[in-house]
Every structure is written in C-alpha cells, then in structure tokens.
Chain A
Amino acid sequence: EAGVAQSPRYKIIEKRQSVAFWCNPISGHATLYWYQQILGQGPKLLIQFQNNGVVDDSQLPKDRFSAERLKGVDSTLKIQPAKLEDSAVYLCASSLDPPETQYFGPGTRLLVL
C-alpha cells in the first residue's frame, strides 16, 4: 500500500516570498491533516479536512496560511507571505474516519531566510 506522498521535500525561500506544499493521502482515506513541526517540538495541527470540507482550522494563521483539498483527495498548503518563524517541517497525514490511526508523510522541510 502506497503511503502519504508529499512534495517538495525541501524548500528554501526568503521572507515575504510565497510557497506551496502538496500532499497526496493514502487512497480511500477521508481525513487529511496538515501539521507544523518546529525544531525541538512535537507536531502541531494546522488544519483537518474531512473529504473536501474543513473540520478544524483553529490553529491555522489565516492571515498568511491557506489550504485546500480539491475533490477530497490531494491537498495544498500555502504560505503567503512567509516569515522567518515559519521555518519548520510541514507534515501531512491521512486516516480513515477518526479516530483511526493517522499515517504520516515524509514532510517538507522549509527554511525561510
């Protein structure tokens, strides 16, 4: 069974630039999550989708972050404009209907200079 795919794996940008991350969940998984993991901390949930609807985006900085999940499958997370403190690993995870186990992708490591 293919796992959660993410791209790119690494990205370096300057502050105030924009960046987008892509995630393809495990086939058949209705729920998709985006997490931010800052160095030395555990992952923090940014947004949760159920099919193509948002379930929870309470911790998403909506002034600069946006996410969408078209057709209930792939998802993109965008940051515009980026700040230095956005440097982190962005993880995508998927699961069958909650509370089933979440399966994580390899993450995108973002460095904002």
Chain B
Amino acid sequence: AQSVSQHNHHVILSEAASLELGCNYSYGGTVNLFWYVQYPGQHLQLLLKYFSGDPLVKGIKGFEAEFIKSKFSFNLRKPSVQWSDTAEYFCAVTRSNDYKLSFGAGTTVTVRA
C-alpha cells in the first residue's frame, strides 16, 4: 500500500525564518504530488501540485516544492514565513493510474510574531 510520511508533527518558528517541511512517499511508479494547507477555521486548500515537467514547483503565497524522484521526496519550502502562515500542512500523493489521493498525517506550523 502506498504511504506518505511527513517528518515533522509540529514546527514552531519565528516570523522571517525559513521553513522546510519534509514529505516522502513509498510508491515507486509515476505519481502526482500535492501540498494542501488548512488555515485555522478554514477548509483544506491547494498550495501547489506537481504532475510533470520542472521538478521545482511554485505555488501560492511564496511557497515552493521540489520533487526529487530518486529520494521519493516532495519537500515544501518558504524562504521567509509570516504569522499568517500558521496552519496545518498536508502532503498528498496520487498514483497516475488510479488517482486515489493519499495524505500524510500533516505538520502543524506555528509562526510566532
């Protein structure tokens, strides 16, 4: 079965610090990769996605992620976080042949002003 691992359960950092959240998946075939975010009191929304092409993907609000196929990883980054980036972040993966979205357990990010 495919699994998605997010390395950090809770990350606390100060404004202007850099953020990197790890995501690894176990499936060896062709995959589609996503990062979703859930701000406090809001619903899940898409930050960015990778289907093919340039492995460095830019998303909304200054986030980017890099797909490294050899490492089965899709880490999320932001050079300088803001207080408003406080949220829960989920990595998710689908296989290209069944499109079933498998989520990681999520990482709670708390940004201190």
Contact = CB atoms under 8 A, between A and B. Distances in A.
Q: Do A and B come from one complex?
A: yes
A3 B46 CA distance: 13
Nearest to B51: A99
Contacts of B96: 99
Contact of A42 (B4, B42, B43, B46): B4
Q: How large is the interface on B (under 10, 10 to 19, 20 to 34, 35 or more residues)?
A: 20 to 34
B100 A42 contact: no
A42 B99 contact: no
Interface residues of A, number: 22
Given A91-B44, A99-B94, A104-B45, A43 B100 contact: no
Given A48-B100, A99-B51, A99-B96, A41 B44 contact: no
B101 A45 contact: yes
A61 interface: no
Candidate in A42, A103, A104 with the most chain B CB atoms within 10 angstroms:
A42
Interface pairs A-B: 8 shortest CB-CB? A42-B103, A98-B99, A104-B44, A106-B43, A99-B99, A104-B43, A43-B103, A42-B105
Interface of B: 4, 32, 34, 36, 42-46, 49, 51, 90, 92, 94, 96, 98-106
13 contacts: A33-B101, A41-B105, A41-B106, A42-B90, A42-B104, A43-B90, A44-B103, A48-B100, A56-B98, A98-B94, A102-B46, A105-B43, A106-B43
